[in-house]
Chains A and B, each alone.
Chain A
Amino acid sequence: MIKIAIIGFGTVGQGFAELLVRKRDEIEKAIGEFKVTAIADSKSSISGEFSLSDALKMKRETGRLRDDVSAMEIVRNAEYDVLVEASVTKIGGGDAVEYIREALKRGKHVITSNKGPIVADFDGLMKLAEKNGVKLMYEATVGGAMPVIKLAKKYLALCEIESVKGIFNGTCNYILSRMEEEKLPYEQILKEAQELGYAEADPTYDVEGIDAALKLVIIANTIGVRARYEDVEVTGITQITPEAFQVAAEKGYTIRLIAEVSREKLKVSPRLVPLHHPLSIRGTMNAAMFKTDTAGNIFVAGRGAGKEETASAMLSDFYEIYAGSP
């Protein structure tokens, strides 16, 4: 029986729990029986005897869980084999760094969707996991449902990955592709994106390229390029004019916010992308192009955000821990 503790019970945590409920049969067939033994959010928690469906219902209806035991206590004391850490990303890592460290020290696997801790202490956390003979999985930190981390670490394991170029922020991609279509200024399209829920009231984190830069740092470290957030040269999309798309189109280009990592480069910036290039995707999509020595170019695309998409990436990590390496 695999025991799971979930820390962070917002959109992503709930999304993961819902997938566990809905896909229980498929999951158990693939990796064996499992049980969620504890859940904690920032204000409340539940552990001991409870049903996952009831916990979800309680959270949806009352905004909290049954007990008052803190997340840290759950991490330290609850009985579990794998910690699913789905709290909100804080630059610098926040409490989540400690949750993950504590779980790894206890010899528990960790699956996280949280960029903060992975960016803040990539090496430290990875070494800690290795030392304790457990896995730290973080597919959901980058590219939502699109496979990036396991693609690099597993399927391209013996390739030299020379560069990765990608679109890792759906908000920016939405704004840019709408500017391209509508020939309207940035401010106007931003407003539209906010109304549709694709952009936050304070869009800085997305439009200034911070989110994409955090993800780039994670990818860089994954492919063996030691990088910190401060190392990334970041330019956002707020300076882009509607005319830029017109003049670019005359030469067969569009504009997208591209994050790029190679041995020489660590950069997030708007770039000219040929109209026929796979990275010229539209809407809230994410995409990544891996350039390798032996496998040539590998391209992946998919939905970069969303409750179920992010949960699906975490579920793929869960599968990888228990059934991925026969």
Chain B
Amino acid sequence: MSEVLITLIVELEDRPGQLLKVLQPISALGGNIVGIIHQRGKKTPLNRLPVEISFKIDSSKVENLIEELKSLGIIIRSFNEVKLTATTSVLLIGHLIHTDISDTISSIDTDGEAECVEMHVSMPEISGPSTAIITISASGKEKLKEALEKLREVCRRKEITIIEPVNEELI
């Protein structure tokens, strides 16, 4: 069994219940949703709404899932599959929100081979430093190393303390 990260952009009609139609088959096949982004500003001429859904799923289930979605009449605009074989967590401490955490995190993913798959931010007070643990998955150890190097660079620039794991199977 090997896990893959799927990034799917579907076009949904802008009315209740449409998103659920996509999510149910993913969930039924054991997929784990990582993120959903509604691209409200990017409506299609036919008034459809592009929605980007990222999820982790066993690679053997992907084909079934796509069939299933198509049979439900869902329009798949794009589909990207990344084999995630290397994963690590790193801790960030600093003014994460003021320094645009979403920019910090997207810095690791420049070629679609690495992705932040999980994040937990703890912000005890608005003015103080916040702390986040992020989990990064990549298509291989080399890609994970590259992603971490990019993250280090951004953190240096933004004066964020980055705490990396000590266990060597990861890096």
- Best-surrounded residue of A243, A277, A291 (most CB of chain B within 10 A): A243
B residues within 8 A CB of A271? 163-166
User: With an 8 A cutoff between CB atoms, is B135 at the interface?
Assistant: yes
Report Cα–Cα, A260/B167, bound state, in Å.
12
Please tell me if the beta carbons of B91 and A279 are within 8 angstroms of each other in the complex.
Answer: no
Report Cα–Cα, A235/B89, bound state, in Å.
19
A/B pair count, beta carbons within 8 Å: 73
Report Cα–Cα, A243/B131, bound state, in Å.
6
Say whether chain B's binding surface is mostly helix, strand, loop, or mixed. strand
Question: Across the two chains, which residue of chain A brings its CB closest to B163?
Answer: A270
Question: Across the two chains, which residue of chain B brings its CB closest to A258?
Answer: B166
Query: What are the interface flags for A131-154 relative to B under an 8 Å C-beta threshold, 1 for contact and 0 otherwise?
Result: 000000000000000000000000
B residues within 8 A CB of A29? none
Q: Range of interface residues on chain B?
A: 20 to 34
User: With an 8 A cutoff between CB atoms, is B161 at the interface?
Assistant: yes
| B113-134 residues at the A interface, CB under 8 angstroms | 120-122, 124, 129-133
Please tell me if the beta carbons of A247 and B131 are within 8 angstroms of each other in the complex.
Answer: yes
A residues within 8 A CB of B164? 269, 271-272
Question: Across the two chains, which residue of chain A brings its CB closest to B89?
Answer: A251
CB distance from A73 to the nearest CB of B (A): 48
B residues within 8 A CB of A246? 122
| A234-272 residues at the B interface, CB under 8 angstroms | 235, 239-241, 243-244, 246-248, 250-251, 253, 255-256, 258, 260, 269-272
Q: With A248-B133, A251-B133, A251-B135 in contact, do A243 and B163 touch (Cβ < 8 Å)?
A: no
User: With an 8 A cutoff between CB atoms, is A165 at the interface?
Assistant: yes
Show the binding face of A for B, using Cβ within 8 Å.
Answer: 163, 165, 235, 239-241, 243-244, 246-248, 250-251, 253, 255-256, 258, 260, 269-274, 277, 279, 291
Can you list 29 pairs linking A and B with CB atoms under 8 Å apart? A165-B166, A239-B94, A239-B129, A239-B161, A241-B129, A241-B131, A243-B122, A243-B124, A243-B131, A244-B93, A246-B122, A247-B91, A247-B122, A247-B132, A248-B91, A251-B135, A253-B91, A253-B133, A256-B166, A270-B161, A270-B163, A271-B164, A271-B166, A272-B90, A272-B163, A272-B166, A274-B166, A274-B167, A279-B166
